[in-house]
Amino acid sequence: MILDSDLLHCFSTMDEILETLNSKQKEAVVKTEGPVLILAGPGSGKTRCITHRLAYLILQKHVNPAAILSITFTNKAANEMKIRTIKLLQEHNLKVKSLPWLGTFHASCVKILRREGKHLPYGSDFVIYDSKDQEETVKKSLLELHLDPKKFSPTNVLYTISSAKNELITAKEYVNHAHGYFQEIVAKVYPKYQSILRKNKALDFDDLIMETIFLFQEVPEVLHKYQNQFQYIQVDEYQDTNKSQYLLTKLLASNHHNICVVGDPGQGIYSWRGADIRNILEFEKDYPEVKVIKLEQNYRSTKTIISAAKQILEVNTDYPSMKLWTENFEGSRISIYEAYSEKDEALFLTDTIKSLLNYGENGEKLFQYSDFAVLYRTNAQSRILEEVLIREGVPYKLLGGVKFYERKEVKDVLAYLKFLANPADMIAWERIQKLGKRRSQKFIDWKEKSNLEKSSSAEILDSILKETGYLEYINNGSEEGISRVENVKELRSVAQSFDRLQDLLENIALIQDEVTPEGQKTDDQNNNSVVLMTLHSAKGLEFPIVFLAGCEEGLLPHSRAMTDKHELEEERRLCYVGITRAKQKLYMTYASKRQIFGAETFGAISRFIEDIDKDLLSWEQ
């Protein structure tokens, strides 16, 4: 056992640790034997519960830390949990020579593969290719197969291979799963890609999990070794697991069943990444003897916000919703604002933020810029928000994303436009050439035969996209690919406001060079900034004041989800995640008229607002 000999005092302090928890959290901490499903609502102290559970296993159950495997989804979450666990143990005078295996799925699998190199054809000294290395390897594979990387985007091919690996479909098997021309191409590239990886003694991120599973299946004694080592397994954010992650944990826990999974079906929003919400919904089928514990007390939000969040999910009949409750104060009603247009919406958000930057009786600020977050469904929505915030001198930063005019696809299309306006712009021409020889030649051929003097900015942009096939080039059908297309279409919305191409480019250049009244650019290095992010990026975060923008049919829920029940329910969960980010005040805004992806639309208020009791809402003028 890797513990100091002086532990009697430490064990007596376990009651002190439990005293800081509520009854349900205590139940989750002390229930260590057998399968446990902790359904943790937003703001319910989930991380606190998990770290105390680790401390309980070590302090009270005398478990060797090396016998505990605790898996999180991000390195940030793993580091936070590690710091909290160490602090908790130190507070009770316990020094350990090692900590539990605490990390992401990928980090845990790397450890195992390094240790078991003698069973692997590539040994234990393999390298791990990052996303750039992977794309270069796909590009090399395409060229060796005499396929044009400009026609078959390496990014798109890699996304498809990654999806296959997450489903544990090997390069040899993929041909039996390929449907359509593009996937038939991938069926040729996938084996070549794997061959190059093996030749270079390299693994990609998806290989790390898949190869560990194959190792366990092919070498039973290795599986038994880790089944015996990991007597206690914890998995956070279980609703976000995919097939390979699900199978990995099931294999490791198949003997002792001491597996504790933590999650919230109501926050399952990553199906487009391969996450399968059925993993958490059907956990009780996998482990009939499971103990289900619900953490339903919310410590984050007001009663009003919690009531609204509950009502959003109650419409969902696929699974029982959490009965969230809080002892926090009632709070003000949720403010609903109907904007005339997306610009009016952005101005309302900006003016409201500025008006709330008041000072208290002693001269202290009641709120600062970093207390505000603006959440939206699509990346493209940030464009008008960024422009208005810049012009109004409000500092902002984007979390989990890139500023609109710095996004690759936007810069690509702007390169075409800049070269048309100024053929001497070699920076723009070099960027165009990087998009493919055939594509750049088509662009030149079109340029020479076109009469640009009589065309508007939007017409020119439309022609470029049509002639070069750029939208097809960037769209791989994934959420990211669709987002790239939406960003280009949003650029077209900007172009519609400027008849002359030169005026469009001049306006964009001035926006990018705007400074705040303090003379500082609104860059991401300023911590006291309004935070802009998509709803997907907001998960796990909280802010005193939250604006949920674009709450209209077609945006939230997204138009793509309208005809699919499961996708529509995921949109509902996405709205739920957004609402539960707010601590003190929530605003939900929508526009009666909006330029969406280059087309003017007249939107109806989101069904999700309609699902909230009117007594909880206040309509802004």
Question: Which residues are designated catalytic?
Answer: 46-47, 236-237, 267, 581
Kindly give the interhelix angle for 501-512 and 382-391, rounded to the nearest 10 degrees. 70
288 is in an annotated binding site: no
Residue 527 sits at φ, ψ, to 5 deg, of -70, -30
DSSP string, 454-496: G--HHHHHHHHHHHHTHHHHH--SSHHHHHHHHHHHHHHHHHT
**Distance, CA of 318 to CA of 160 (rounded, Å):** 29
Contact by Cβ (8 Å): 308, 334: yes
**Distance, CA of 289 to CA of 458 (rounded, Å):** 62
532: nearest Cα among 393, 353, 397, 367: 397
CA angle 88, 93, 97 (to 5 degrees): 80
Could you identify the residue written with the tokens 């750029």? 470
HSE-CB for 72 with a 13 A CA cutoff:
18
**Distance, CA of 377 to CA of 571 (rounded, Å):** 9
99: nearest Cα among 86, 111, 112: 86
**Distance, CA of 50 to CA of 69 (rounded, Å):** 12
Helices and strands: H and E segment counts in the chain: 27, 17
45 is in an annotated binding site: yes
Which whole-number Å values give the CA distances from 147 to 143, 212, 442, 468, in the listed order? Answer: 5, 32, 19, 18
578 is in an annotated binding site: no
Contact by Cβ (8 Å): 432, 419: yes
* 50: three-class secondary structure by DSSP: helix
162 is in an annotated binding site: no
Could you identify the residue written with the tokens 């097809």? 472
Long-range CB contacts (within 8 A, 24+) of 315-322? 315/572, 315/611, 316/266, 316/569, 316/572, 316/573, 318/281, 318/569, 319/265, 319/281, 321/266, 322/39, 322/41, 322/264, 322/266, 322/294, 322/296
47 is in an annotated binding site: yes
Q: Is 93 left (phi over 0), alpha (psi -120 to 50) or beta?
A: left
Rg over alpha carbons for the chain, rounded to the nearest Å, is 27
HSE-CB for 196 with a 13 A CA cutoff:
19
**Distance, CA of 254 to CA of 241 (rounded, Å):** 18
42 is in an annotated binding site: yes
Going by the annotation, the residues of the binding site for ATP are 40-47
Going by the annotation, the residues of the binding site are 40-47
